[in-house]
Amino acid sequence: MIQNKVAESELITLDLKTFLPAEQPALFDLKDYLFKGLILKEKDYREALLKTDWKRFEKKEVLIFCSADAIVPVWAYMLAVVYLQPIAKAIYFNNEESWKEIKMMEGISQTNTELFKDKRVVIKGCGDEKITDAVYVEITKTLLPVAKSIMYGEPCSTVPIYKKKQ
């Protein structure tokens, strides 16, 4: 009889993808307000903000950034917040990758660590979603005080990270 030792090992596999935010943020890219893609003219920017359809940001998490390689004065971001604050769920000065990292860190900080108390945990390695190194560090810090052991990879092929001393 063939024995499946992985199935019998009582490992908990934790896929960090579960900490990804469910909803996508709305993007406010100042690139769209630049004159010739290079500079921001205050008068034109203020007029454009007045004409902007702000409904698309309503009750959403909004990321403010500039994807163009341009020097953007800080007041331009501040002015956008004036319009967004009353309608947005939350506002971040970030690109999408940094925002995902923040949201994943928040999710990890809210994890019920009792679920992992004295358990053997495998932090899933490979996947189709990019997970930053900082998120792996954060989950390790979170599980270290409670887990019996922490491994990285897949249940059939893991790299040992930590084992509690008896």
Do residue 106 and residue 145 come from a single domain? yes
Do residue 124 and residue 152 come from a single domain? yes
Domain hosting residue 79, numbered range:
26-95
Q: Is the pLDDT of residue 28 over 90?
A: yes
In three-state secondary structure terms, 75 is helix
Count of positions (residues) in the chain: 166
Where does the chain show beta strands of DSSP type E?
Answer: 11-14, 26-29, 61-65, 90-93, 120-124, 149-154, 157-163
Look at the chain and report how many structural domains it folds into. 2
pLDDT band at 9 (very low <50, low <70, confident <90, very high): low
pTM score of the predicted model: 0.79
Do residue 12 and residue 65 come from a single domain? no
pLDDT band at 157 (very low <50, low <70, confident <90, very high): confident
Q: Is the pLDDT of residue 3 over 60?
A: no
Do residue 103 and residue 156 come from a single domain? yes
Do residue 111 and residue 138 come from a single domain? yes
pLDDT at 5: 46
Q: Is the pLDDT of residue 133 over 60?
A: yes
Sequence-separated (6 or more) residues with CB below 8 Å from residue 161: 123, 140, 149, 150, 151, 152
Alpha-carbon distances, residue 113 vs 81, 107, 122, 141, 145 (angstroms): 36, 12, 14, 11, 9
- The pLDDT > 90 percentage for the chain reads 83
Do residue 116 and residue 90 come from a single domain? no
Do residue 151 and residue 106 come from a single domain? yes
Do residue 88 and residue 105 come from a single domain? no
Locate 64 and state its tokens: 């403010």
